[in-house]
Each structure stands twice: as structure tokens, then as C-alpha cells.
Amino acid sequence: MFLRHLLTTSRVGQLGLKDVPVVRADQTVAAAAREMRSHSHGSALVCQGRQLTGIFTERDLLKLLAAGKSVETPVAEAMTAAPRTVKVDDSLMVVIQLLDEGGYRRLPVIDAAGQPVGIVDVKSVVHFLVEHFPKAVYNQAPRVLSRAKDREGA
């Protein structure tokens, strides 16, 4: 299968990992949220020194607010500690299996020394597929998705 071959031979490192915010566990959720905003990214790696200790995502932020907790709460209390990671030389098939069956939205990526180098998410894998199937994706009708319209006469 062509796609299987593509996914098993392509490596995480080929995805063009994004520059994501890095925060400390003793910083506040508000500080982490500001960092995430400035990077236009929905998650932050939580590190002590150069070692990964957790991941804090916009989902964690949503849960914190829904629970009525303050954004001055330390990241340590809202993050996912010791998250599942993938290595830069893991195949995209491993990533997809974790995103699909493991239910993960994002996975921190670590290098051979175990240090975090970025995050891989559904969006980055989708972009990879779009680049590899440009005919199917870009030979679509020359329009972007339609927009919700104002109801005429309303």
C-alpha cells in the first residue's frame, strides 16, 4: 500500500517541527497562556532544565477554567505530567496510531538525548498528507470553503 509505505518510511523529524513555547512547572497558567498566544500555538512543553516534565495544552486550560480555578494556579497543577512522547526518528505510522487509537491530540517530540525538540499534532500530519496528495487536495473547485452567510432579508 502506497500510503502505508509513505507513513512507515517517513520520520517525525521530516514534519518540520514547530517552535513551541517552553515553560516551567512553577510558572502560572496565565504566564503559560501568554506564551502560547504569542507563539500562536495551543500547547506548551513544561521543562525543568532541559528535561521534559509535562505538557500543558489549551484543553488543560479549558478544564481548569471549567473547574472554576484561577489562572494564577501553577502549571504543575494543571499540566499532564510525564506525557507520552515520540522520537524524531519514529515513523509517522507510530504517530498516527497514537493519535488515532491512543486518543492523543499532541505528542512532544524528543531527540536521541531525550531532550524535547517540539510537538507533533494532527494538524502537522494532515499538512504532510496534503503535501503528498496535492492533486487530490488542490485540484478541487477553485474556492475556499464557503462561509456562513447572513440570512437574506433577516
Partner 1 sequence: MKCPDCGSENVPGADECQECGGSLWGLDAQGNEVEQSITAHPIQVLCPREPICVAPQTPVRDVLAEMVARNIGCVIVEDSAQLLGVFTERDVLNKVALDEQNLSRPVSEFMTPNPATATKSDSIGYVLQGMDLGGYRHIPIVNSADIVVGMISSRDILRFMAVKYAGSRN
Sheet holding 43-48, edge to edge: 22-23, 43-48, 51-57, 80-81
| 8 Å CB contact between 74 and 51 | no
Identify which range of 15-23, 30-38, 75-83, 112-120 contacts partner 1 by CB under 8 A: 30-38
Q: Does 59 bind partner 1 (CB under 8 A)?
A: yes
| 8 Å CB contact between 98 and 86 | yes
Task: Please give the single-letter amino acid code of residue 27.
Answer: Q
The residue among 117 and 122 lying less far from partner 1, judged by its C-beta, is: 122
Q: Which residues pair with residue 54 across a beta bridge?
A: 46, 81
Q: Does 5 bind partner 1 (CB under 8 A)?
A: yes
Q: Does 135 bind partner 1 (CB under 8 A)?
A: yes
Sheet holding 116-121, edge to edge: 86-87, 106-110, 116-121
Q: Does 19 bind partner 1 (CB under 8 A)?
A: no
- Grid cell digits, residue 14: 521530516
DSSP 84: -
Q: Does 78 bind partner 1 (CB under 8 A)?
A: no
Q: Does 17 bind partner 1 (CB under 8 A)?
A: no
Q: Does 146 bind partner 1 (CB under 8 A)?
A: yes
Q: Which residues of this chain interact with partner 1, rule CB under 8 A?
A: 1-7, 9, 30, 33-34, 36-37, 42, 58-59, 61-63, 65-66, 70-71, 93, 96-97, 99-101, 105, 122-123, 125-127, 129-130, 132-133, 135-141, 144-149, 151, 154
